[in-house]
């Protein structure tokens, strides 16, 4: 039996070392098969490589220079239940710095070598060839798994639109939500999927390598597990040689449609086929389910364990029109649960709108520099009003299309609505994101034409009314209102508009777009209420965006908001209890200790996790999900202290990366500043902390350091304490920065700044 070795041929030193190891091992019973020997003329390159992996004892993957083909083969080996050993040559230039951004290899684990002797010793040390667990039950409720492109481009929108058109739900890895992809998470998601979509980032995208290495691993998993796979890229992009026959390419966006249609047919067939039964013993914890850290990925299951809070009840009663919360606090979960609750009454019309913030970029670039301030607000409110009435019409038509064929009481009104809607410039095909983008393009082009034939540099309000009204807004509005009179109520739920916007870095144009959306929804609500139609509108935004709106709008503080902030540990306990027990009346401690060791480092295990979660539900779920993955791969009957500690170590790296991204979004000069605290103590005096921060900046500006410190406190990276109290973080001050600053001022002589335990593992903090 041979050991298959995959490595990038671009580094001759690595190839020489593998060749030397192979010569030394030729007399043993475990010789190497190195990948350059597979270049067989007249055959697809992929076929002989995978044949050798299928028949090998285990696989060695060299990651010294990250290579799409090698990582694809690593994913394939894992999916084929082969033990893999990842290695890296630390004696030459390597890509290890990229590992912390990618996230796959620190969860898989890797060993370093510098010479033939060290590599041979690593290979010889692999005695246990038990593979990672992959036999997860197929999930037909969310049949598609996708690794989304990091850049929100038109091809990504089109892929998602066509998957939705096939009425297929999907779960995804989204880099804006999770900065790193865990190998264990990728394995489970691919194993559960009935089909996998992996777009390859084209060469002209910014820093495509990080995404494409993740894509390679996921594609290899899917290929080995015989999952329908749509591995897709632009025709002009460089396609990795070994997998060229597996990749689908497109030149125009419309070329994507048949590719997704063919993929969707394969997924439907897979959903109707029973998954093969594995001979492997089913680990006790394999079916333990905490939900997904991304609420978008648990739409079909969220109703089983959603924790109803006072904020949810207020919103569901129509008492708030803005939901505010930090990233990971549960805004999208509330959005999904509210949508599902209101949809249960078929007399309700529910618009659940989730665009991507980037789609409004063109509007900003093409319109705001041309129009006067008054014209901008006039146009953007009209823009949203027209788009929303169009979406209401689409929803009414979709909902009553079958009913109108047989119900004479609504047929005339339905036909009138359909006729007026058909006059719209917006395409009826596609989803809301595509219609939004189409309207942005239309408005931008119209404004440019007015600009070209205008005498002044700034176009006034009177010149732009025709842009929206020529799309028959008055007719559409009248028809929609008449049709809604036979319905019970209208709910407009709007999420994601600020997705991808920099944290605390939005400008006045972003504020105008969001404020105009809220004004448009209120205007629609007033118009409908005048006609005795019950209407509700709720916009979901990040709290930093909301604060900018308040600062830029004197009357915006009058909006009725629901604030999603978690500072109560008991609430988080109940959230997790419901996910573990699925509505069963079992006390938290009993449910928890059924699945977890009671103590971690001498502290109650749940408390230990909570104190490292930044009090964000998403982080708690992420830690538990990862700990369960480690336990499953060890075939443990309970999640042990060791499993929790391993999970917290990888989570700590994740949360450090996220914090670095958040800080650099606000202050680009501060990128990487958190790494200055590697190997430091937990506690800092004010002077010592400022000195650490100033060491990062060339000019050592005190104002800049103070500003960055305020951001670090705001995000919970640092907390404060005095000699008489435990450390307190922003969530212990109810997320009120003014309250926290007042406490610091009052305790100025004794205050100590303390690093949050969430970052201890990543920064190797000394207690």
User: What is the Cα–Cα distance from 292 to 290, expressed in whole angstroms?
Assistant: 7
pLDDT recorded at residue 663: 82
User: What is the Cα–Cα distance from 149 to 211, expressed in whole angstroms?
Assistant: 7
Residues of the chain with CATH 3.40.50.450: 3-125, 144-271
Q: What is the three-class DSSP state of 47?
A: helix
pLDDT recorded at residue 311: 93
pTM, entire model: 0.86
Sheet of 489-494: strands edge to edge?
348-353, 489-494, 534-542, 322-325, 561-564
pLDDT recorded at residue 362: 67
pLDDT recorded at residue 36: 59
CB-based contacts of 544: which residues, under 8 Å, 6+ apart? 326, 503, 504
Class of domain 144-271: alpha beta
Query: What is the C-alpha R_g of the chain?
Result: 28
User: Which residue in this structure is represented by tokens 């900018």?
Assistant: 548
Q: Which of 78, 212, 177, 53 is nearest to 136 (CA)?
A: 78
Considering all CA atoms of the chain, what is the largest pairwise distance in Å, rounded to the nearest integer? 89
CB-based contacts of 277: which residues, under 8 Å, 6+ apart? none
**Intervals of the chain under pLDDT 70:** 1, 27-30, 36-45, 241-242, 275-280, 356-359, 361-374, 425-430, 450-471, 500-507, 552-558, 583, 699-700
pLDDT recorded at residue 610: 95
Reported as a single tens digit per residue, the pLDDT across 23-64 is: 887 766 667 888 754 444 444 567 788 888 998 888 999 999
The dihedrals phi and psi of 596, each to the nearest 5 degrees, come to: -125, 145
CB atoms within 10 A of CB 406: 8
Average pLDDT, the chain: 86
pLDDT recorded at residue 556: 60
Give the H or E element holding residue 362. helix 361-367
Domain boundaries 3-125, corresponding CATH code? 3.40.50.450
* Residues facing 88 on adjacent strands: 112
Beta strands in 203-278 (DSSP E): 229-234, 248-250
DSSP string of 581-625, one letter each residue: HTT----HHHHHHHHB-SEETTEEHHHHHHTTTTT-HHHHHHHHH
Q: Residue 648 burial (CB < 10 Å; 0-12/13-18/19+)?
A: buried
- Residue 521 · residue 351 · CB < 8 Å: no
Q: What is the three-class DSSP state of 395?
A: helix
What's the number of CA atoms in the CB half-sphere (13 Å) around residue 577? 16
Roughly how many angstroms between the first and final C-alpha of the chain, as a whole number?
A: 49
- Residue 399 · residue 343 · CB < 8 Å: no
pLDDT recorded at residue 338: 95
What's the number of CA atoms in the CB half-sphere (13 Å) around residue 385? 27
Q: What is the three-class DSSP state of 322?
A: strand
Q: Residue 549 burial (CB < 10 Å; 0-12/13-18/19+)?
A: buried
pLDDT recorded at residue 581: 87
Rounded-to-10 torsion of CA 441, 444, 446, 449: -130
């Amino acid at each position: 039996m041979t050991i298959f070795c995959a490595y990038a041929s671009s580094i001759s030193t690595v190839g020489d070392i593998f060749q030397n190891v192979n010569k030394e091992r030729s007399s043993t019973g475990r010789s190497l098969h190195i990948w350059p020997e597979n270049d067989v003329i007249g055959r697809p390159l992929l076929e002989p490589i995978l044949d050798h992996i299928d028949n090998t004892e285990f696989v060695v993957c060299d990651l010294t220079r990250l290579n799409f083909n090698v990582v694809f083969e690593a994913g394939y080996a894992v999916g084929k239940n082969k033990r893999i050993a990842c290695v890296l040559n630390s004696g030459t230039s390597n890509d290890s710095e990229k590992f912390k951004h990618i996230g796959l290899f620190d969860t898989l684990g890797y060993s370093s070598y510098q010479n033939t002797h060290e590599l041979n010793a690593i290979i010889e040390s692999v005695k246990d060839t038990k593979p990672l667990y992959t036999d997860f039950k197929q999930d037909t409720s969310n049949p598609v798994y996708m690794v989304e492109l990091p850049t929100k481009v038109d091809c990504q929108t089109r892929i998602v639109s066509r998957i939705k058109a096939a009425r297929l739900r999907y779960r995804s890895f989204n880099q804006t939500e999770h900065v790193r992809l865990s190998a264990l998470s990728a394995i489970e998601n691919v194993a559960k999927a009935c089909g996998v979509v992996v777009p390859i980032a084209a060469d002209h995208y910014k820093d495509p390598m990080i995404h494409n290495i993740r894509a390679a691993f996921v594609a290899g998993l899917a290929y080995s597990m015989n999952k329908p796979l749509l591995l897709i890229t632009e025709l002009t992009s460089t396609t990795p040689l070994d997998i060229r026959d597996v990749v689908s390419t497109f030149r125009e966006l419309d070329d994507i449609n048949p590719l997704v249609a063919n993929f969707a047919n394969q997924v439907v067939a897979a959903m109707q086929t029973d998954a093969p039964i594995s001979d492997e013993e089913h680990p006790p914890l394999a079916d333990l389910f905490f939900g997904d850290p991304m609420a978008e990925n648990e739409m079909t299951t969220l109703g089983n364990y959603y924790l109803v809070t006072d904020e949810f009840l207020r919103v569901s009663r129509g008492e708030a029109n803005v939901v505010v919360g930090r990233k990971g606090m549960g805004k999208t979960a509330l959005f999904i649960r509210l949508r599902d609750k209101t949809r249960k009454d078929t007399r309700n019309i529910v618009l659940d709108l989730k665009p991507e913030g980037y789609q409004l970029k063109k509007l900003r670039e093409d319109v705001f520099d041309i129009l006067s301030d008054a014209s901008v607000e006039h146009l953007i409110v009209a823009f949203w009003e027209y788009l929303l009435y169009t979406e209401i019409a689409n929803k009414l038509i979709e909902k009553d299309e079958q009913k109108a064929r047989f119900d004479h009481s609504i047929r005339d009104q339905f036909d009138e609505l359909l006729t007026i809607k058909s006059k719209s410039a917006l395409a009826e095909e596609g989803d809301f994101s595509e219609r939004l983008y189409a309207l942005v393009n239309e408005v931008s082009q119209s404004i440019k034409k007015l600009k070209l034939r205008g005498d002044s540099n700034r176009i006034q309000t009177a010149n732009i009314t025709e842009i929206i009204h020529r799309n028959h807004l008055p007719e559409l509005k009248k028809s929609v209102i008449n049709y809604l009179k036979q319905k019970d109520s209208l709910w407009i739920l709007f999420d994601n508009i600020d997705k991808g916007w920099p944290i605390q870095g939005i400008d006045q144009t972003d504020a105008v777009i969001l404020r105009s959306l809220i004004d448009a929804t209120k205007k629609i609500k007033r118009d409908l209420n005048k006609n005795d139609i019950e209407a509700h509108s709720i916009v979901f935004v990040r709290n930093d965006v909301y604060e900018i709106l308040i600062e830029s709008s004197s009357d915006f503080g009058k909006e009725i908001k629901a604030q999603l902030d978690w500072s109560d540990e008991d609430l988080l306990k109940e959230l997790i209890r419901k996910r573990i027990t699925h509505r069963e009346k079992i006390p938290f401690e009993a449910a928890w200790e059924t699945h977890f060791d009671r103590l971690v480092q001498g502290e109650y295990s749940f408390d230990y996790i909570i104190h490292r979660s930044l009090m964000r539900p998403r982080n708690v779920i992420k830690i538990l999900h990862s700990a369960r993955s480690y336990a499953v791969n060890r075939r443990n009957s309970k999640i042990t202290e060791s499993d929790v500690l391993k999970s917290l170590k990888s989570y700590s790296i994740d949360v450090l990366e996220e914090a670095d991204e958040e800080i650099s979004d606000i202050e680009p000069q501060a990128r990487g500043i958190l790494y200055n605290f590697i190997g430091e103590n937990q506690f800092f005096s004010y002077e010592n902390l400022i000195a650490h921060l100033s060491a990062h900046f060339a000019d050592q500006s005190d104002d800049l350091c103070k500003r960055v410190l305020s951001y670090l406190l705001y995000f919970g990276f640092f907390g404060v304490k005095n000699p008489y109290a435990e450390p307190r973080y922003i969530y212990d001050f109810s997320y009120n920065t003014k309250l926290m600053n007042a406490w610091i001022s009052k305790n100025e002589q004794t205050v100590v700044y303390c690093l949050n335990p969430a970052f201890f593992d990543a920064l190797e903090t000394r207690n």
